[in-house]
Every structure is written in C-alpha cells, then in structure tokens.
C-alpha cells in the first residue's frame, strides 16, 4: 500500500495516484489546479519524459527550428516583394493605358468637333 494507492472501487489509471507522494499530493493538485491545470502538468512531464527516453538535444532542435524559420521568412519576403512589384507594375501599366486612352479620346473629340464646325 505504500507504493500504490487506489481509491476504493476506482481502479482506473486516471483516478489513481502512485505511492505515498501521490497519495498526499493528489488531493492538493486536484483542488488547486483542476482538470485544465493538470493537463498542463501532464504535458510538461510528458515532454520531459520523451526528452529523456528519446535523448532529444534541445540545442540541436532549436538550431534546426531557427534555420527553418529563417528559410521560411526569406521565402515569405521574396513572395511579398514579387507580389508588391507585380501589383506596382500592373497599377502603373493600367494607369498609363488609361491616360493614353484619355488622350486619344480627347484628340478624337477635338478633331470631330473641328470637322463639325467646318461643315
């Protein structure tokens, strides 16, 4: 009983705690942390256990993540710059075509108006 403590009639792992430390700390953790806080503790201990089990080196992992983030941001920057250049060129082309169209239509209106006065 010192190493494992189960509540009477509740033999489910999620409702049990292990040993004397589990017996004394379970009620404290449940009353102050609740369901969502215990999920945070579970996640932290799960990450720590995977770190030890799989021998993950966090410095190498962060180095690879940072290089990935740098590559991602350079690609996003290039995409953003090409899209800005595309829209700038498209806007200047459209505005120059509108100006040329207005000039041509204005010159046509003047020539048509001049011919009607001559008749």
Reduce the DSSP state of residue 5 to 3 states and report it: strand
pLDDT digits (tens, 9 = 90+) for 18-73: 666 666 766 676 666 666 677 788 888 888 888 888 888 888 989 999 999 999 99
Range of the domain at 25: 1-56
pLDDT digits (tens, 9 = 90+) for 41-50: 888 888 888 8
**In terms of domains, do 71 and 93 share one?**
yes
Q: What is the pLDDT of residue 42?
A: 84
CA dihedral 59, 65, 69, 72 (to 10 degrees): 150
Q: What is the DSSP string of 32-92?
A: HHHHHHHHHHHHHHHHHHHHHHHT--HHHHHHHHHHHHHHHHHHHHHHHHHHHHHHHHHHH
Q: Could you read off the pLDDT of 77-94 as tens digits, one per residue?
A: 999 999 999 999 999 999
Q: How confident is the model at residue 10 (pLDDT cuts 50, 70, 90)?
A: low
Residues 68 and 106 in one domain: yes
pTM of the model: 0.43
Domain boundary among 38, 56, 74: 56
What's the N-to-C CA distance of the chain in angstroms? 119
């Amino acid at each position: 009983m010192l190493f494992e403590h189960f509540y009477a009639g509740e033999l489910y792992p999620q409702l049990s705690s292990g040993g004397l430390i589990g017996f004394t700390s379970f009620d404290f953790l449940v009353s102050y942390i609740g369901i969502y806080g215990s999920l945070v503790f579970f996640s932290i201990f799960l990450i720590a256990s995977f770190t030890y089990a799989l021998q993950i080196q966090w410095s190498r992992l962060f180095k690879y993540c940072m290089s990935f983030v740098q590559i991602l941001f350079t690609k996003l920057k290039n995409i953003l710059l090409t899209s800005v250049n595309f829209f700038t060129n498209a806007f200047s082309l459209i505005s120059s075509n509108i100006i040329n169209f207005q000039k041509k239509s204005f010159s046509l209106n003047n020539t048509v108006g001049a011919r009607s006065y001559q008749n």
